[in-house]
Amino acid sequence: MRKLTRVINAQPAQDGDGVKIHRLAGPQLRQALNPFLMIDEINSDDAADYIGGFPEHPHRGFETITYMKAGRMRHRDHMGNEGVIGGGDVQWMTAGAGVLHSEMPEQEQGLLHGFQIWLNLPAAEKMKPAAYQEIGCADIVEQALADGGVVRVIAGAVTINQQLAQGPLPEISTQPVFLDVQLSANETVEISFNEHNPVLVYVYSGETNLIKSRQLGVYQSGSTLKLTGGPAGVKLLVLSGQPISEPVKQYGPFVMNSAEEINRALADFHNPQFLKQLKAGRKTENRSPKVKL
């Protein structure tokens, strides 16, 4: 069995245009989250907490995964992609060499609940072309459990209580596993997948026998992850991937491997000609004064 080695509390924060979130991120957590960089949760029925959304902003060097539980979020990007995702839907965006996008709530009242997760890219893939895909709720594999629980398999091939399930996303180099698990009171599930990769378990409602709400449990490598719902049951995310053993340099929305690459990203995204060519699907060469990191 995989062993729980660390429990981390999500911290209140704000991002975008004043959106209130709970966040797990930062240099002090980088090794624990690897290959993930950040886990954000938005969960509020007060429009003042989320209505500002995330106006247009750039990214480079990683992937963003947005998973909605309730409410709606509209995505627009420089590639011409536009769409609204709602409860149970996922958007998986590869920023790669560069993307300009916005994510804005498509509602002015009611509950907005969702997650944004950043997944790092290895150096060889950081400058790959940007890409975007939506996965509808109906396309996500669900496996019912004997005692009333359910496991949604968003990414990865997993064995759930000895039954094989495969998520809709094709396999990529970081070998991501992304599950949404709901367990009834005291219900237990055993989940197996790549035994060499560590596992993150984020509880967003209720508790397990080991982890409380808005806590992240870090599990070591092993053949089987065993989870048990608390007295009132639990809802949680399971995340896993192959750690990337490379330097990480982050400056806001850019995640690269060196200060020089960060300076290049800053130069590019402050260059109107680069932005024009980005929107036309082409690369550009330019330089600007470096910033001290």
| Confidence (pLDDT) at 286 | 39
Does 281 score more than 70 pLDDT?
A: no
Q: What mean pLDDT is predicted for residues 99-119?
A: 96
State the Cα–Cα distance between residues 5 and 219, nearest whole angstrom.
6
Does 284 score more than 50 pLDDT?
A: no
Q: What mean pLDDT is predicted for residues 158-164?
A: 97
Over residues 116-157, the pLDDT tens digits come to 999 999 999 999 999 999 999 999 999 999 999 999 999 999
Domains of the chain, by residue range, sit at 4-240
284: helix, coil or strand?
coil
Split at pLDDT 50, 70, 90, the class of 293 is very low
| Confidence (pLDDT) at 283 | 47
pTM check: above 0.85 = yes
Please count the other Cβ atoms lying within 10 Å of the Cβ belonging to residue 82. 12
Going by their DSSP bridges, the two strands 199-208 and 215-219 should be labelled as antiparallel
Chain centre distance of CA 156: 14
Split at pLDDT 50, 70, 90, the class of 189 is very high
State the Cα–Cα distance between residues 129 and 47, nearest whole angstrom.
35
State the Cα–Cα distance between residues 167 and 91, nearest whole angstrom.
14
| Confidence (pLDDT) at 292 | 36
CATH: 2.60.120.10, 3.40.309.10, 3.40.190.80, 3.40.50.720. Which one for 4-240?
A: 2.60.120.10
Split at pLDDT 50, 70, 90, the class of 282 is low
Does 290 score more than 70 pLDDT?
A: no
State the Cα–Cα distance between residues 235 and 147, nearest whole angstrom.
14
Over residues 168-177, the pLDDT tens digits come to 988 899 999 9
Tell me which residue of 139, 137, 132, 144 sits closest to 82, measured CA to CA.
Answer: 132
Split at pLDDT 50, 70, 90, the class of 276 is confident
Split at pLDDT 50, 70, 90, the class of 278 is confident
Over residues 215-267, the pLDDT tens digits come to 999 999 999 999 999 999 999 999 999 999 999 999 999 999 999 999 999 99
Beta sheet of 73-77, edge-to-edge order: 54-59, 99-105, 73-77, 82-85
Split at pLDDT 50, 70, 90, the class of 90 is very high
| Confidence (pLDDT) at 59 | 96
